[in-house]
A and B are shown apart, each in its own frame.
Chain A
Amino acid sequence: MVRTYLLLAWTWLRASAQYPGPLIMMVIGSFIVSGLDVAAIWVIFEHVGSLGGFDLAEVMFLYGAAGLSFALSDILFGNVERLSQHIKAGTFDTMLIRPAGAFVQMATDRFSVQRLGRLAQAAVVLAIALPQLGLPAGRAWMIPVMILCGTVIFASIFTLGGAMQFLLTDAPEVANAFTYGGSALTQYPLSVYGNELVKGVTFIVPLAFVNWQPALFVLDRPDPLGLPYWLRFAAPLAAVVLSVAAALAWRAGIRRYRSTGS
């Protein structure tokens, strides 16, 4: 599966490299578009010294970590969100007659470096924020773990959003509420949101484990909601559970797929 992924991704990459002009434009474009979110944070901190109890460097850290996870999962699996387009155009049928998983083919379809802009932008923010926090190694080890788990969680949400399109072929935008909505949610400390919402994204759609819970450990902060301490280490568990759910949903979707058109 990994081999097939790399093979397809590499082939698409080579094809897109034949037109470097638009490609570079699009990388820069995605860098700027995602930079707008940082501009918003900057405007907010022009007016306040802390948001939800977190200062600018801490918010940038939360933003950068979640942004990195989201960008990685978007590059690797984000194309799955185009499922409904493929179903409508009939190209999903042709994926099913090839001896490779439909998921891998979806994920690599038109694989391009365009989304690197977002990745670079998140990395820059994180690189600026980290030195200002002065973290000891005893807590900083969690950062790569949280970025990895966050990537798996977002990838699972992309997959769930794709699987949903087997049912809602005419309304793929619903998935955006969870994928891009999840990205927007994790850009700010969860302490700004209502308690019900935070509990929902802790125990139902586990977005809280993308950055919030592990970050409470990294920043050594008490949980404003007073949730159990061990949740800070539960990100790998959440990632595993959600990815299993996503895999099952995708398989169920394929099984009940009804090819339309002639």
Chain B
Amino acid sequence: MKSALKRAGYKQVHKQMNDVHLQFISKVAFFIILLFAFNLFFAGHYTPGGGFVGGLLTSAAIVLLLIAFDVKTLKKMLPIRFRLLIASGLFLALGVPTGLMFFGYPFFTHEFTEITLPILGEIGLHSATPFDLGVFLTVCGSTLLIIILVGGADD
């Protein structure tokens, strides 16, 4: 795009095309997608959803921001190091089943109870949730890492 404009005779081309519509809509849509991703994440286990899909959707939301803005702006918006995201995700995914082994259960044993909270009512507490959170973080981190690696190749 930039080089085509230059060839067409535009002396000065802005570094970023000014896409007001895309930028505005993506700012709003980001939160909607994120909300849906969390919904999917918590819906997992008994109904379709879970860490992998949730993580993919979250990274899709972030990629939308990446398309609307650029890598630098994104880094300013989300000052996260993806390596740490992946590492903590893997640690959660491994640590939870290993930790359960210390209580005498075999590896990956699934434990759950149900508690009653005010307002929210009955809620199931599963030991699979921290594990799934680990999957969520790992998927999110590695997808973003790869997309930024591929997408940021031009600069």
> Does B associate with A?
no
B: residues with CB less than 8 A from A are: none
Interface residues of A, Cβ cutoff 8 Å to B: none
